Amino acid sequence: MNLLNIHKLNTYFPTPDGLVKAVDHVDLKIADSEKVGLIGETGCGKTVLGMSIVRLLDSSAQINGRIIYRGRDILELAEEDMRSLRGREIAMILQNPTTSLNPVMRVGDQIAEGIRLHGGLDKRAAKKRAVEILKSVMIHDAERRADQYPHEFSGGMKERAMIAIGLSCDPSIIIADEPTKGLDAKTKTQIVKLLKGVTEHKSMLMITHDLNVAASICDRVAVMYAGEILEVGKVWDVLKNPMHPYTRGFINSLPSRGLKPIRGSSPSLIDLPSGCRFCPRCDFAMEACKFKHPEITPADDGQSVRCFLYT
């Protein structure tokens, strides 16, 4: 059963130069207790998609489509109802904890804030619960650490604190935005292990450009490029047998694969190609790719791909 069903989601931003189509006609499903990775280059729309789900974007954003959570369309909820849902049912672990954590507020109080709002606990009980959550994310000496400020935490500890905030109200689904970005190899391994443990019975959308992280945590992955999904499938099927030329190029550009860059650059989200968006960079482009935009269609082994090579 799908816990979250995104259908034809568009998130556009008006600018003096034109409309930025950050998320364009995206379909994505996440089942109960399933972990889905959203991978792609920086600037392809991954974070905007996550922020659209929890409705944390600026009021200037033009969002339409459907985001169905437990039978309700999130985009049709009143702001008061959305505040009740956000954090308690759907939580987001924001990118870059150094800027996301409030620098003048104690870490324990930041965790307790959501607990008091959604759990109805008094200040003392919420603080006690915050300490318990800090312990669950492997913060040692949690009672003392809860009274410290973010600048007193290391990078890895700040990320653990962000995970603690996300877990504080026991949500059904967590959107984790680049939770391992900027961490050293040892700390990254610890965070991946932690996320696997604390989300065992939860659904998660893992936004990342790190394929190793996606492979360690996720059941399925969706590959995003220039605002749209190009390929979806079971994580190992996609990583071992990538179908879309972009997915192949993205995987081959990794250091472990020899750092072979994809030629050219991503298109402007204001002036997108009329045909396949990857066509100008693709070594397999056909004449139809220049003028006709491919639909995403089912392929072998449960994968889906947006490419004329498979039609």
Residue 130 lies in a domain: no
Report yes or no: 207 and 5 within 8 Å, Cβ to Cβ. no
Which CATH number belongs to the domain containing residue 277 in this structure?
3.40.50.300
Question: 94: Cβ–Cβ under 8 A, 6 or more apart, which residues?
Answer: 100, 162, 177
Residue 83 lies in a domain: no
Residue 290 lies in a domain: yes
Would you say residue 68 has pLDDT above 90?
A: yes
Residue 164 lies in a domain: no
CA distances from 64 to 7, 12, 130, 205 (A): 10, 9, 36, 20
Residue 99 lies in a domain: no
Q: Looking at residue 86, what DSSP letter applies? A: B
Rounded to two decimals, what is the model's pTM?
A: 0.93
Closest to 20 (Cα-Cα) out of 224, 227, 230: 227
Domain of residue 259, residue span: 2-78+214-310
| C-alpha to C-alpha distance for 302 and 229, rounded to whole angstroms | 15
* Span 8-32, pLDDT tens digits: 999 999 999 999 999 999 999 999 9
* Span 141-180, pLDDT tens digits: 999 999 999 999 999 999 999 999 999 999 999 999 999 9
* Span 88-116, pLDDT tens digits: 999 999 988 888 999 999 999 999 998 98
**Rounded average pLDDT over 122-137:** 93
State how many domains the chain has: 1
Would you say residue 252 has pLDDT above 80?
A: yes
